[in-house]
């Protein structure tokens, strides 16, 4: 907590440096009243559950409730890490998320660079709108779209397979393709959003820098390499820190709907969030799912802080907080 | 001139490919919903209906109760949630945008912590279901999503562009903080309010997660949840054994084209409407990311 207090204070200091006007008690009270409903909602729906992660150390019983259930120390964690699931879901969550972060960054920067060389306003607009479409739909709807591709008899992919003389592939049972399908779906859904961020960063580069570089004989790829990429690096770093902060959290909808929750695919599609959901919904077993949930929250928080600290060490300008 | 057009080609080919990737799945669903069921069964899906048919839509509109009810749920949740969400978000964002507000630092930190620390599903589930008894209520689809730290900080940056001198002079004229907020700050931040409204609205419209966790009641099935349920029953059906299939009968399953038609009816309006507000989304995303 202390470190985050310290890091946010930097941000706030910058804003309040201008002038420190003092406010009448009446005004302070009024402003606080404005914030009160929001404060309460955050307290109930965010802060109480944060305290609630302690049930990971309890043998939770519905009848006894949170306070009445007995403390069992690390027993839930023992159960969790003895099960084979733990390794699988942590591996999948981390593995996919790392790959997602890298892949999306590369794709979004590449797309933004390409968009930057599109000069006609109307084409630019059409591209941006199209790339943004998947952002507007839910994963459920995306799941319907996925079915039109992966369906066994009628799906588009199998039509292609047949066209080239192959046998129909049971996509919802084959493990290997999903290692690529899931990252593809992730990029598909988020490319519009991320591209806008990088495109904005590129747009904000001072035209004089380009002109100066051109006078020095800098052309094409070199401009990208020595002007554009270094200048969008801070943006990339901020986005990466944010993404690493939630690296223990999987995008539930992606992993649940795109593979159509197919049990045969769990080896490559089961992640922490889908696992917690399944355990909670199917068995109502709180102990194991709360243990993995605790793990997720604490590691996630630690990762944000560590990444931010590391980035701050290397280059304090780029640190997020 | 020639080298220029070749360069253009290298720019446009990947962009067009990407655009097709983004667009084709939408068109595919649309095409299937307008196709003849028997033709689909025989020849598979196709981007252009081999045999055009409105049968699926006719079927859906013949028994519109479920769709209408789901529209009702989604519209109710989205409108109430968006109005309350925007009010609460603005209520938090405005005080922390004021350099002279004494509690600014602790309040910002209080909001910020929810961004990096999260209790996760299990404690939230126990709280909402066992203690607040929100299961199977409309409220559970609204309350947990009302305030997001990201939106608060986004709106704050818009509020911060209002000159403090304006607020101070209003105060000299005897205006209270509330009057200033509703009469000056909000009207001057229309773009910011629009941006946040759209983000909140999109989140409510597309939410299925809260329904998945907290709703068992057939009467509170939102559009997204309806789509989920249809998909689930189809999956269950195709994965279950022959005996179970005969027991369930073939009537329980909507046809392929009908499913896609429901998908179009459920997702279509927003997919058509949101791109018109893209300007605001772009603004929000750019500003939000710059502020981190």
Query: Closest by alpha carbon to B68, among B196, B193, B222?
Result: B222
Query: Closest by alpha carbon to A255, among A89, A80, A81?
Result: A89
- Dump pLDDT digits (tens) for A219-264: 778 888 888 888 888 888 878 877 887 888 889 999 999 988 887 8
Sign of the CA dihedral running B42, B45, B48, B51: positive
Angle value at C-alpha B116, between A108 and A303, nearest 5 degrees: 75
Contact residues, chain A, for B11 at CB < 8 Å: 114, 117-118
The per-residue pLDDT for A62 is 75
- Give dist(CA A48, CA A68) in Å, integer: 17
Contact residues, chain A, for B162 at CB < 8 Å: none
Contact assignment for B99 to A4 by CB distance below 8 Å: no
Contact residues, chain A, for B286 at CB < 8 Å: 196-197, 200
Number of H helices, E strands in chain A: 17, 2
ipTM of the complex: 0.87
The per-residue pLDDT for B3 is 58
A168–chain B nearest CA distance, Å: 12
Sign of the CA dihedral running B124, B130, B133, B136: positive
Are A232 and A202 a contacting pair, CB within 8 Å?
yes
The per-residue pLDDT for A7 is 46
The per-residue pLDDT for A2 is 38
The per-residue pLDDT for A3 is 42
Beta strand spans in chain A (E): 58-59, 70-71
Among B88, B105, B132, beta carbon nearest to A38: B88
Beta strand spans in A25-77 (E): 58-59, 70-71
- Dump pLDDT digits (tens) for A256-302: 999 888 878 888 888 999 998 988 888 777 878 888 888 888 888 88
Contact assignment for B256 to A8 by CB distance below 8 Å: no
Contact assignment for B202 to A158 by CB distance below 8 Å: no
Contact residues, chain A, for B232 at CB < 8 Å: 261
The per-residue pLDDT for B249 is 47
Contact assignment for B100 to A21 by CB distance below 8 Å: yes
Q: Taking CA atoms, what residue in B is nearest to A2?
A: B109
- Give dist(CA A48, CA B143) in Å, integer: 14
The per-residue pLDDT for A21 is 55
- Over chain A, what is the mean pLDDT? 83
Stronger pLDDT, B286 or A112, i.e. the higher one: A112
Are A297 and B119 a contacting pair, CB within 8 Å?
yes
Count of CB atoms within 10 A of residue A127's CB?
22
Tell whether A269 lies on the interface with B, counting CB pairs under 8 A. no
Structure tokens at B244: 């179970």
Among A35, A134, A293, beta carbon nearest to B95: A35
Contact assignment for B15 to A115 by CB distance below 8 Å: yes
Q: Scan residues 46-75 of A and list those with Cβ closer than 8 Å to B.
A: 46-53, 55, 60, 62, 65-66
Q: For residue B134, what are the CA distances in angstroms to A52, B74, B84, B141, B214? A: 17, 17, 18, 9, 8
Confidence grade of residue A147 (pLDDT, cut at 50, 70, 90): confident
Contact residues, chain A, for B198 at CB < 8 Å: none
Q: A17, A31, A251, A320: which to substitute to probe chain B, counting the most B Cβ within 10 Å?
A: A31
- Dump pLDDT digits (tens) for A154-168: 888 888 888 888 788
The per-residue pLDDT for B5 is 67
- Give dist(CA B87, CA B186) in Å, integer: 10
A212–chain B nearest CA distance, Å: 22
Are B128 and B120 a contacting pair, CB within 8 Å?
no
Write phi, then psi, for B35 (nearest 5 degrees).
-100, 165
Tell whether A92 lies on the interface with B, counting CB pairs under 8 A. no
Mean pLDDT, contiguous 10-residue spans, chain B (292 residues)? 67 91 91 84 80 83 85 95 96 92 90 85 89 92 93 91 88 88 91 92 94 90 90 68 48 72 88 86 76 46
Q: Taking CA atoms, what residue in A is nearest to B229?
A: A140
Q: What is the pTM of this model?
A: 0.87
The per-residue pLDDT for B231 is 83
């Amino acid at each position: 907590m202390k470190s985050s207090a310290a890091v946010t204070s930097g941000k706030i200091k910058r804003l309040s440096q201008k002038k420190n006007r003092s406010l009448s008690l009446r005004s302070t009270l009024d402003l606080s009243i404005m914030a009160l409903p929001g404060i309460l909602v955050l307290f109930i729906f965010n802060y109480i559950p944060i305290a609630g992660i302690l049930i990971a150390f309890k043998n939770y019983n519905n009848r006894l409730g949170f306070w009445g259930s007995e403390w069992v120390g690390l027993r839930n964690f023992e159960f969790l890490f003895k099960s084979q699931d733990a390794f699988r879901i942590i591996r999948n969550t981390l593995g996919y998320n790392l790959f997602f972060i890298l892949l999306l960054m590369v794709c979004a920067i590449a797309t933004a660079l390409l968009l930057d060389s599109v000069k006609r306003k109307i084409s630019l607009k059409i591209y941006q709108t199209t790339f943004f479409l998947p952002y507007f739909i839910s994963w459920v709807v995306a799941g319907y779209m996925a079915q039109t591709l992966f369906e066994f008899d009628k799906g588009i992919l199998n039509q292609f397979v047949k066209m080239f003389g192959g046998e129909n592939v049971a996509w919802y049972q084959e493990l290997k393709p999903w290692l690529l399908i899931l990252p593809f779906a992730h990029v598909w859904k988020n490319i519009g959003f991320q591209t806008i961020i990088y495109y904005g960063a590129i747009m904000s580069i001072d035209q004089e820098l380009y002109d100066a570089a051109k006078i020095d004989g800098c052309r094409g790829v070199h401009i990208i390499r020595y002007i554009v990429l270094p200048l969008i690096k801070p943006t990339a770093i901020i986005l990466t820190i944010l993404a690493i902060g939630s690296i223990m959290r999987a995008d539930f909808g992606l992993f649940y709907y795109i593979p159509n929750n197919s049990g045969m695919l769990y080896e490559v599609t089961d992640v922490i969030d889908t696992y917690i959901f399944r355990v909670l919904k199917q068995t109502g077993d709180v102990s194991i799912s709360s243990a993995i949930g605790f793990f997720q929250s604490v590691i996630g928080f630690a990762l944000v802080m560590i990444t931010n600290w590391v980035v701050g060490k290397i280059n304090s300008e780029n640190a997020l907080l | 001139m020639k080298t220029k057009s070749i360069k253009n080609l290298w720019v446009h080919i990947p962009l067009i490919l990407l655009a097709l990737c983004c667009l084709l799945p939408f068109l595919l669903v649309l095409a299937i919903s307008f196709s003849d069921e028997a033709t689909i069964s025989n020849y598979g899906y196709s981007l252009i209906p081999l045999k055009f048919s409105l049968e699926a839509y006719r079927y859906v509109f013949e028994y519109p109760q479920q769709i209408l009810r789901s529209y009702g749920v989604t519209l109710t949740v989205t409108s109430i949630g968006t109005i309350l969400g925007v009010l609460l978000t603005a209520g938090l964002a405005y005080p922390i945008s004021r350099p002279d507000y004494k509690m600014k630092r602790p309040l910002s930190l209080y909001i910020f912590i929810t961004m990096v620390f999260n209790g996760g599903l299990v404690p939230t589930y126990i709280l909402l279901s066992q203690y607040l008894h929100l299961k199977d209520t409309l409220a559970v689809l609204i309350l947990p999503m009302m305030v997001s730290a990201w939106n608060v900080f986004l709106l704050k940056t818009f509020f911060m562009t209002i000159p403090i001198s304006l607020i101070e002079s209003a105060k000299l004229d005897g205006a209270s903080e509330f009057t200033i907020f509703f009469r000056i700050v909000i009207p001057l931040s229309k773009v910011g309010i629009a941006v946040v409204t759209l983000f909140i609205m999109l989140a409510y419209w597309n939410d299925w997660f809260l329904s998945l966790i907290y709703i068992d009641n057939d009467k509170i099935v939102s559009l997204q949840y309806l789509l989920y349920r249809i998909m689930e029953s189809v999956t269950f059906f195709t994965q279950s054994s022959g005996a179970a299939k005969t027991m369930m009968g073939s009537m329980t399953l909507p046809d392929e084209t009908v499913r896609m038609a429901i998908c179009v009816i459920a997702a279509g309006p927003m997919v058509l409407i949101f791109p018109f507000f893209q300007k605001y989304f772009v603004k929000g995303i750019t500003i939000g990311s710059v502020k981190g």
